[in-house]
Amino acid sequence: MQSSIQKTIDFVKETLAHAEAGHDWFHIERVFKTAQNINQKENGNELVVAFAALLHDIADPKFNNGDETLGPNMAAAFLQSISIDEEIINHVKLIIQNMSFKNSFEQSSFTSKEMQIVQDADRLDAIGAIGIARAFTYGGFKNRVLYDPAIQPQQHLDKESYKNTTAPTINHFYEKLLLLKDMMNTEAGKAIAEERHKFMELYLTHFYREWEGN
Ligand code: ADP
Ligand code: NI
């Protein structure tokens, strides 16, 4: 018999078959692996961590007219369809509801060990080598310049200005990516973030050096 996790993997792959590069199946797979990796140290509920990691971007509000209920509802309906316990479904639903970008800067009302693990794994995918690649992919998609020395990064962007910014992609490092290290929840997450953060700093040093022709 096919395991519930394998069924979920198949469902997510199929649903995200036409997703854009930043939130495709491979993003989900990385978050899933990283969450399982962190969970080896944190000992959260394995099923909750797996389902939440796999289903966390099933219907991103950004691509669904801002609808923040669609993702959690789709996740819950799917888990019901494969007969998962009510308690696990409710927990997974709460995690997905509270993991959106909005909630990552605003204080969220719900938390749990499993939520912290999956959120760390998702944030880790925005930093380090992969994070750099994702940022420039996003910037290219939005037709942004790589860097413009005349346009300074802004601190503490709220959700609206964050969405509407046309700033160079390098600014995104200062506005979000370099801040993520200090937002990690778990010890295991912090350790991975530390390493990825250093790599981004090294990357930026080289970037400016090359910008000057050196
Ligand atoms: P999440 O991973 O929480 O869904 P987003 O949807 O905001 O986060 O971003 C998806 C990816 O696109 C991330 O790697 C993020 O760093 C990148 N990204 C988002 N906004 C920008 C931006 N203004 N400039 C460059 N990269 C961005
Ligand atoms: Ni994600």
Instruction: Please name which of 47, 36, 58 lies closest in space to residue 4, comparing C-alpha atoms.
Output: 47
For residues 35 and 49, is the Cβ–Cβ distance under 8 A?
Answer: yes
Which structural domains are found in the chain, ordered by start? 1-106 (1.10.472.50), 126-214 (1.20.58.1910)
Span from the CA of 212 to the centroid of ligand 2 (angstroms): 35
Residue nearest to atom 13 of ligand 1 (CA): 126
The reply to whether ligand 1 has any atom less than 6 angstroms from the CB of 59 is: no
pLDDT tens, residue by residue, 5-60 = 999 999 999 999 987 766 899 999 999 999 999 999 999 999 999 999 999 999 87
The reply to whether ligand 1 has any atom less than 6 angstroms from the CB of 135 is: yes
For a ligand 1 pocket test, name from 172, 173, 204 the mutation site with the most ligand atoms within 8 angstroms of its C-beta: 172
pLDDT tens, residue by residue, 130-151 = 999 999 999 999 999 999 999 9
Q: How much is the ipTM here?
A: 0.96
The owner of tokens 């308690």 is 87
Instruction: Please name which of 177, 56, 69, 193 lies closest in space to residue 124, comparing C-alpha atoms.
Output: 193
For 93, residues 6+ apart whose C-beta sits below 8 A from its C-beta are 72, 73, 75, 76
